[in-house]
């Protein structure tokens, strides 16, 4: 009893102390309204703003419960260097969450907040594409007319939609009010044989949506005009349908005056091989060639339909094995995420080996939070957690190009974006793309480079002749982003999604040093001359590509004790590739891959710094003096490597 009482007293004391601490915090906030205002402006989420507006405008009891499905369990840190929450223009469109319409509450209080209405949905866009009128088409000669009709149907490979367009064009060519297409259902001699139409009464102004709302029309074999023509295979051209026996019409279909039907039902695999047609017609009109092209186009489409099905099945299998378990994502989503300050994510001298696997995942979440990407793009927090786990899962346990390297590249990107305000230059979409690109830029790396893929004639080299591994990394990235439960881009608009994919591909391919060498002279000249405008897409694209290289090789800028360990890891992975080249390919590896040349590592590092690293870091120091520490780190590490090289008598360089 005594122990239980003491435990209860302890819990009560802790609760009282916690409550007292909260009161002190609230008191301090009351005394510092400027800080509260500044923090709210920079860090308030959309949900917080909506809740505040509702609580100050809606009558008692009308404030809806806030959803937390897309919210993170921890609020972003209050660092002044992180981006300010912005409301983009698309959010004020008719379908946006905030609507710029002045409303009033039931109490008559003016408010800009619209309370959600049950069943409120954005109107669907009319997908019907306009076509030339009959009068416009009649003014065209035969070839121009055929060209217009071909343009209308050439890109439509869905058979029902294609037939609908053909019927519309037939009605235009024959000046008919409407056309219908009937297909025979049932074998010859089958008592249930009938004619079926899913495209009935098609006019030149009808739409597929209207056709889909109509019921299927069925006519017994031999009944009515259509049934008679199908059974007798005789042409009918009826000036006035009502002069014909009423038995030919099982039901009245509108105001019908004139009917023309085809002479017989045909099933012709190749019209050019059928002796019922005159080949001489081909020379008199271009229509037959167009029809033949349409037939071949449809046949090719049918053949190609099987291949995507197989590919889709294969992709589903791969996606299943590439996706992290949802249980791991749930566990990660419940973790408290420390601040940027705790993880030192804005430190250009960040220790590449300071975090374990779990902390690296939480640090990634913090970067998405502080860049305001979760709120801005409405990324579901659980989905983000699962995506990060899936990305980590798809890195192989190779010596260097593994998950840790991907995280370190991402941390450097985050630091460069936030301490220089480059995130403001790139904008939200490109910032999101760059962070994703850094995390995914070496997905499924096998510990071998592009040259090895070509030498070994690997399947990847057969797919991509240039930037082989980088193309594979991008493909893996897209596969994961499209896998169920990992779709962090699902709430982007079509234009935003297209832009993200474009920037992603360009950024990942930019990590190929061959691409870096090909583009860097243009960048260096642009920076040296000062003739750059980051509002121009081509200038900004070049900046993004060079920034990817800066982050990818950033280990060369780190303190010596970190740089040396990283260099040894990279060399070890290179030597493993060299061993494979010797043993399996029976070729002599280049020096940097040759284990027998490992004593030359210091000299190789000096050459690596001089030829690749120093020029790009020097240019970025000119763009922003806040990136000068990167260049300083490169120079300091060069001195260290040079000392080691001279100590081993491998060169005659002197440190100037």
Instruction: Quote the CA–CA distance of 293 and 229 in Å, as a whole number.
Output: 29
Q: Are 515 and 466 in contact (CB under 8 A)?
A: no
Q: Which two tokens mark 351?
A: 């220790």
Q: Which two tokens mark 198?
A: 């899913």
Q: How far is CA 10 from CA 16, 18, 598, in A?
A: 10, 12, 62
Q: Which two tokens mark 11?
A: 């819990």
Residue 184's closest CA among 213, 225, 227? 227
CA 39 to chain centre: 32
| Total residue count of the chain as it appears in this document | 656
Residue 441 annotated in ligand binding: yes
Residue 552 annotated in ligand binding: yes
Which residue in 128, 164, 341, 401 is the catalytic one?
401
Residue 402 annotated in ligand binding: yes
Neighbours of 330 (CB within 10 A): 12
Q: Are 370 and 79 in contact (CB under 8 A)?
A: yes
CA torsion sign for 622, 628, 632, 637 is negative
CA torsion sign for 498, 361, 507, 86 is positive
Residue 382 annotated in ligand binding: no
Instruction: Quote the CA–CA distance of 501 and 482 in Å, as a whole number.
Output: 12
Question: What is the CB-side half-sphere exposure of residue 602 using CA atoms within 13 A?
Answer: 19
The secondary structure element, H or E, covering residue 246 is none
Residue 185 annotated in ligand binding: no
| 3-state SS, residue 100 | coil
Residue 654 annotated in ligand binding: no
Inter-axis angle of helices 142-153 and 159-174, to 10 degrees?
160
Residue 30 annotated in ligand binding: no
**Residue ranges of E strands in 251-387:** 259-261
Residue 405 annotated in ligand binding: yes
DSSP of 374-432: HHHTT--HHHHHHHHHHHHHTS---SSSSHHHHHHHHHHHHHHHHHHTHHHHHHHHHHH
Q: Are 190 and 220 in contact (CB under 8 A)?
A: no
The β-bridge partners of 238 are: 259
Residue 625 annotated in ligand binding: no
Q: Which two tokens mark 479?
A: 């596969």
Instruction: Quote the CA–CA distance of 171 and 165 in Å, as a whole number.
Output: 10
Instruction: Quote the CA–CA distance of 225 and 249 in Å, as a whole number.
Output: 7
Annotation marks residue 401 as catalytic? yes
242 phi-psi bin (left φ>0, alpha ψ -120 to 50, beta other): alpha
Q: Are 538 and 369 in contact (CB under 8 A)?
A: no
The 3-class SS string of 493-553 reads: CHHHHHHHHHHHHHHHHCCCHHHHHHHHHHHHHHHHHCCCCCCCHHHHHHHHHHHHHHHHC
What residue numbers does the annotated binding site for AMP cover? 401-405, 442, 552, 605
Binding site per annotation, positions for Zn(2+): 405, 441-442, 552
- Catalytic sites, residue numbers: 401
Residue numbers belonging to the annotated binding site = 401-405, 441-442, 552, 605
């Amino acid at each position: 009893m005594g122990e239980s009482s003491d435990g209860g007293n302890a819990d009560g004391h802790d609760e009282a102390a916690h409550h007292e601490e909260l009161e002190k915090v609230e008191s301090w906030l009351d005394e510092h309204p400027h800080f509260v205002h500044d923090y709210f402006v920079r860090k308030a989420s959309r949900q917080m703003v909506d809740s505040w507006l509702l609580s100050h405008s809606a009558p008692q009891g009308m404030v809806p419960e806030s959803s937390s499905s897309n919210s993170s369990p921890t609020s972003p840190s209050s660092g002044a260097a992180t981006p300010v929450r912005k409301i983009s223009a698309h959010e004020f469109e008719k379908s946006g969450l905030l609507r710029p319409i002045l409303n009033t509450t039931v109490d008559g209080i003016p408010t800009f907040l619209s309370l959600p209405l049950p069943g409120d949905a954005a109107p669907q866009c009319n997908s019907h594409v306009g076509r030339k009128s009959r009068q416009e088409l009649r003014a065209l000669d035969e070839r121009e007319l055929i060209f217009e009709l071909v343009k209308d149907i050439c890109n439509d490979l869905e058979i029902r939609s294609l037939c609908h367009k053909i019927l519309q064009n037939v009605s235009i060519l024959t000046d008919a009010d409407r056309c219908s297409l009937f297909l025979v259902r049932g074998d010859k001699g089958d008592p249930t044989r009938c004619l079926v139409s899913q495209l009935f009464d098609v006019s030149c102004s009808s739409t597929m949506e209207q056709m889909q709302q109509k019921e299927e029309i069925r006519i017994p074999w031999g009944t009515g005009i259509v049934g008679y023509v199908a059974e007798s295979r005789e042409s009918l051209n009826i000036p006035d349908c009502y002069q014909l026996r009423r038995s030919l019409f099982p039901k009245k279909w509108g105001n019908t005056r004139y009917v023309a039907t085809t002479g017989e039902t045909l099933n012709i695999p190749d019209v050019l091989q059928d002796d019922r047609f005159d080949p001489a017609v081909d020379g008199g009109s271009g229509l037959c060639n167009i029809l033949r092209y349409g037939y071949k186009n449809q046949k090719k489409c049918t053949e190609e339909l099987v291949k995507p099905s197989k590919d889709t099945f294969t992709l589903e299998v791969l996606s299943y094995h590439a996706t992290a378990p949802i249980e791991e994502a749930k566990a990660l989503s419940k973790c408290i995420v420390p601040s940027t300050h705790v993880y030192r994510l804005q430190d250009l001298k960040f220790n590449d080996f300071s975090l374990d696997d779990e902390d690296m995942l939480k640090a990634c979440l913090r970067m998405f939070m502080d860049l305001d990407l979760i709120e801005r793009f409405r990324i579901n927090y659980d989905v983000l957690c699962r995506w990060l786990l899936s990305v980590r899962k798809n890195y192989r346990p190779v010596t260097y190009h593994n998950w840790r390297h991907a995280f370190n590249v991402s941390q450097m990107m985050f630091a460069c974006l936030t301490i220089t305000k480059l995130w403001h230059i790139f904008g939200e979409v490109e910032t999101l793309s760059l962070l994703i690109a850094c995390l995914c830029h070496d997905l499924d790396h096998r510990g071998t480079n592009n040259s090895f893929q070509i030498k070994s004639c690997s399947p990847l080299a057969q797919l991509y002749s240039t930037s082989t591994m980088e193309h594979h990394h991008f493909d893996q990235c897209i596969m994961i982003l499209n896998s169920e439960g990992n779709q962090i881009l699902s709430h982007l608009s079509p234009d935003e999604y297209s832009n993200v994919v474009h920037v992603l591909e360009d950024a990942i391919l930019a990590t190929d040093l061959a691409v870096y060498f090909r583009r860097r002279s243009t960048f260096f000249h642009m920076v040296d001359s000062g003739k750059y405008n980051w509002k121009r897409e081509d200038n900004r694209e070049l900046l993004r590509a060079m920034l990817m290289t800066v982050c990818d090789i950033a280990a060369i800028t780190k303190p010596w004790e970190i740089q040396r360990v990283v260099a040894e890891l990279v060399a070890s992975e290179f030597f493993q590739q060299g061993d494979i080249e010797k043993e399996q390919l029976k070729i002599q590896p280049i020096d940097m891959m040759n284990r027998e040349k490992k004593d030359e590592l210091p000299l190789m590092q000096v050459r690596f710094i001089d030829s690749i690293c120093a020029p790009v870091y020097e240019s970025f120091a000119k763009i922003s003096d806040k990136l000068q520490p990167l260049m300083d780190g490169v120079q300091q590490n060069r001195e260290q490597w040079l000392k080691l090289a001279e100590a081993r008598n491998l060169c005659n360089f002197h440190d100037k």
